């Protein structure tokens, strides 16, 4: 049988619960901050320049279909709703979800949904 905790013990349990929540939230924010990578730039990265990378697909110097941007690319590993995310072609950097480069490859699932060819 469980005894009713004393007021002092109840207060301690509340404080311990609050402390645990604060530690869990801090760990979440810290892991996201650590996971963020430097943003890719064609002005400083020779590979990005060679592949005509741009943060804004609508400003790409190479003509491409309008629906092509990093978020729709098979190489993009960012999460839905985030502005920047990692790309397999540019390890160590985040690319813009609305960006584009000439290594673009349509996601299989997108091609299936849109009845497009790669």
Residues that bind ligand SF4 (CB under 6 A): 53, 70, 73, 75-76, 87, 89, 95, 99-101, 103-104
| Cβ at position 117, least distance to ligand SF4 in Å | 17
CA–CA gap between residue 75 and residue 104 (Å, rounded): 8
Q: Which is nearer to ligand SF4, 68 or 112 (CB)?
A: 68
CA gyration radius, the chain: 23
Distances (CA, A) of 86 to 4, 48, 62, 118: 52, 14, 22, 21
Q: Which is nearer to ligand SF4, 39 or 75 (CB)?
A: 75
| Cβ at position 111, least distance to ligand SF4 in Å | 14
| Cβ at position 34, least distance to ligand SF4 in Å | 22
Q: Which is nearer to ligand SF4, 28 or 89 (CB)?
A: 89
| Cβ at position 69, least distance to ligand SF4 in Å | 7
H/E element holding 112? Answer: helix 108-114
Which residues fall within 8 angstroms of residue 2, CB to CB, at 6 or more apart? none
């Amino acid at each position: 049988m469980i005894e009713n905790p004393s007021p002092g013990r109840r207060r301690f349990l509340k404080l311990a619960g609050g402390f645990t929540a604060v530690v869990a939230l801090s760990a979440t924010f810290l892991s996201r901050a650590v996971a963020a990578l430097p943003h890719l730039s064609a002005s400083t990265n020779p590979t990005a320049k060679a592949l005509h990378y741009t943060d804004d697909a609508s400003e790409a110097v190479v003509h491409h279909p309008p629906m092509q941007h990093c978020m729709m690319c098979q190489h993009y590993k960012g999460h839905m709703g985030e502005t920047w995310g990692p790309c397999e072609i540019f390890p160590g950097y985040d690319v813009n979800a609305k960006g584009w480069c000439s290594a673009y490859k349509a996601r299989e699932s997108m091609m299936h949904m849109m009845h497009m060819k790669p």
